[in-house]
Amino acid sequence: MILTVTLNAALDVTCNVDALVPYGSHRVDRPFSRAGGKGVEAARVLSALGAPAAVPYPLAGDFDVGLHEQFRTSVAEK
């Protein structure tokens, strides 16, 4: 088991738009979010390569509820 350390966990949000128009308004249909941070990304790659990886991370407040589920499904259970 490889442990990666993520002291500054993040929730990465990606938005897709049809086209980027300079100085124009852009509409987003469905933003996609997933757990992020350097340790999380490293564990995600290790897991995809077949190596068992885990991410111990400190969280607090309202932020931790959705992020905990993201961590659990993206790294720990693979």
Query: Residue 35, exposed/middle/buried by CB under 10 A (0-12, 13-18, 19+)?
Result: buried
Tally of structural domains, the chain: 1
* pLDDT number for residue 78: 41
In this prediction, residue 37 has a pLDDT band, given cuts at 50, 70 and 90, of confident
Contact (Cβ atoms closer than 8 angstroms) between residue 66 and residue 31: no
Strand 53-54 with 2-3, pairing = parallel
In this prediction, residue 22 has a pLDDT band, given cuts at 50, 70 and 90, of very high
Measure the CA–CA gap between 51 and 47, rounded to whole angstroms: 5
Instruction: Give the structural domain span for 65.
Output: 2-76
Whats the size of the chain, residue-wise?
Answer: 78
Is-above-0.85 flag for pTM? no
The residue among 24 and 73 whose pLDDT is bigger is: 24
